[in-house]
């Protein structure tokens, strides 16, 4: 994609900044701030928060709009947590979004000769199904609008009947299909590529999906936020979690909010994004909620756009016994027992009378042997000393591992995602 240096991005961002003053939110938010004259001035502009988008967007409010709500599409920008937020794009802004998304898919090798199975959930204002439809249309490929609204057995049947060469959906669904394939022994005849979006697909989950479904090419369709649009795209050389930034479309900063400054090369920071194309509902210095770092060097593909490596969700880990525990520890432990155990799991933590209980719910194609559950428990207590110490000190009232039939974990009705952490404690 077209490369823009930071000076060029600043000039485009300044136009969006000036236009934003037509909205009630930004005119008040930026009251008393002089228009930034340099990149360093830009860093002094206060960030946009999720709560502001939730509370000040249509239909709750028109405060973020710089123009009347006309010639537009309204989409949901949240929902996995059960709290939906909404935002509006003009049709021209939406077209620019899906054009960039289509180009990202073309870079990965999707052509008009492909049959693309659209396996996103449709409805509830969720934009993924609609956006992929428009992107496939721009490429000229054959669109198979199957969706994930139907039972998974029907998804398998339709994919076997219509033989897609590419499937696109959430990692949660692909892990589920891999579990089903291990249980039922099916493959998809002409499937050559899987694209995912909406969640991170870990290396262990990718191996599980690749082996079960017999697909060697698995790539992220894009790094995207419904609020901001496409923020990253992959090429043949980018590994899992690494993306080129579309500098013509987004300006991304990585900020250390503890120090109040940008991070240096190789350091982790919170992703802060400004959409350079959107003026009807401006997204300026939005704190997305992801943590990332800049990759050094130039990509072998020759694309000059910088490389961004995602390092997780801000606040995705949880606190236990004074320390912060990474959810990766649990996924890696479970992965050692795949395919007997699925990588669709949920860790639920509850506070019971001053003690806490932990229930690790894991989907499984078949009921696992008790010895496997005992082994996994021992491995987790070895990998997470806080669990063992909490049990010894009687802080941990109970730790259980509950196997569930595949598909039985609660999914978001809007996005279809499984939340890996459900922390019921009041901290």
pLDDT of res. 81: 46
Weakest mean pLDDT among 15-29, 62-76, 293-307, 319-333: 319-333
Fold (CATH) for 318-423: GMP Synthetase; Chain A, domain 3 (3.30.300)
| Token digits of residue 225 | 């936020």
Is the pLDDT assigned to residue 322 strictly greater than 90? no
What confidence score (pLDDT) does residue 324 get?
Answer: 65
Average of pLDDT values for 289-300? 91
pLDDT tens-digit series, residues 73-102: 999 886 544 456 889 999 999 999 999 999
pLDDT tens figures, 237-274: 998 889 999 999 999 999 998 888 999 988 999 999 99
Secondary structure (DSSP) of 303-335 = --SPEEEEEEETT-SEEETTEEE-HHHHHHHHH
pLDDT at 188: 96
Phi, psi at 168, each rounded to 5°: -130, 125
pLDDT tens string 94-128? 999 999 999 999 999 999 999 999 999 998 898 99
- Of 291, 373, 387, 388, which is closest to residue 333 (Cα–Cα)? 373
- Say how many C-beta atoms besides its own lie within 10 A of residue 140's C-beta: 12
Rounded to whole angstroms, how far apart are CA atoms 150 and 121? Answer: 9
User: What's the whole-number mean pLDDT along residues 276-301?
Assistant: 94
Instruction: Work out the pLDDT band at 323, boundaries 50, 70, 90.
Output: low
The confidence score (pLDDT) of residue 427 equals: 44
Among 134, 125, 188, smallest CA distance to 160 is for: 188
pLDDT of residue 290: 87
- The CATH T-level fold of domain 6-95+222-313 is Rossmann fold (3.40.50)
pLDDT exceeds 70 at position 286: yes
In the structure, what pLDDT confidence band is assigned to residue 417 with cuts at 50, 70 and 90?
confident
> Average of pLDDT values for 316-330?
73
Spelled out in words, what is the top-level CATH class assigned to the domain 109-220? alpha beta
Domain boundaries along the sequence of the chain: 6-95+222-313, 109-220, 318-423
pLDDT higher than threshold 80 for residue 319: no
Mean pLDDT of the chain: 91
Topology match between the domains 6-95+222-313 and 318-423: no
User: What would the pLDDT profile of 393-414 be if each residue is shown by its tens digit?
Assistant: 778 889 999 999 999 999 887 7
């Amino acid at each position: 994609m077209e490369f823009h240096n930071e000076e060029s991005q600043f000039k485009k961002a300044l136009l969006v900044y000036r236009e934003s003053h037509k909205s009630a939110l930004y005119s008040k938010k930026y009251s008393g701030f002089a228009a930034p004259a340099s990149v360093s001035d830009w860093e002094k502009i206060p960030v946009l928060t999720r709560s502001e988008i939730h509370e000040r967007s249509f239909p709750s409010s028109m405060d973020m709009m710089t123009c009347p709500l006309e010639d537009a599409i309204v989409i949901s920008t949240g929902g996995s947590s059960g709290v939906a937020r909404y935002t509006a794009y003009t049709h021209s802004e939406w077209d620019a979004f899906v054009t960039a998304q289509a180009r990202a898919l073309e870079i990965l090798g999707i052509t008009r000769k492909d049959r693309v199975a659209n396996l996103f959930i449709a409805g509830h204002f969720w934009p993924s199904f609609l956006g992929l439809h428009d992107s496939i249309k721009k490429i000229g490929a054959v669109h198979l609008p199957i969706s994930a609204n139907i039972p998974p057995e029907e998804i398998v049947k339709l994919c076997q009947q219509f033989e897609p060469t590419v499937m696109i959906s959430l990692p949660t669904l692909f892990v589920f299909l891999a579990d089903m394939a291990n249980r039922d022994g099916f493959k998809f005849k002409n499937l050559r590529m899987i694209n995912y979006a909406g969640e991170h697909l870990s290396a262990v989950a990718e191996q599980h999906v690749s082996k079960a479904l017999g697909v060697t090419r698995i790539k992220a369709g894009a790094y995207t936020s419904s609020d901001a649009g496409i923020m990253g795209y992959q090429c043949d050389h980018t590994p899992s979690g690494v993306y080129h930034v579309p500098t013509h479309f987004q300006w991304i900063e990585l900020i250390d909010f503890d120090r109040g400054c940008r991070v240096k090369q190789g350091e982790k920071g919170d992703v802060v994004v400004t959409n350079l194309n959107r003026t009807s509902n401006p997204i300026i210095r939005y704190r997305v909620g992801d943590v990332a770092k800049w990759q050094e060097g130039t990509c072998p593909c020759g694309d000059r756009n910088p490389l961004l490596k995602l390092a997780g969700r801000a606040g995705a880990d949880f606190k236990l016994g004074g320390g912060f525990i990474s959810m990766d520890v649990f996924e890696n432990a479970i992965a050692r027992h795949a395919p007997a155990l699925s990588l669709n799991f949920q860790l639920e933590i509850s506070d019971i009378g001053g003690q806490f209980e932990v229930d690790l719910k894991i989907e499984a194609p078949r009921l696992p042997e008790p010895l496997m559950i005992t082994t996994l428990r021992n491995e987790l207590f070895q990998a997470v000393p806080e669990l063992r110490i909490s049990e010894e000190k009687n802080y941990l009232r109970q730790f259980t591992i509950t196997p569930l039939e595949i598909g039985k974990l609660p999914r978001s009705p809007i996005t279809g995602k499984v939340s890996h952490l459900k922390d019921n404690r009041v901290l």
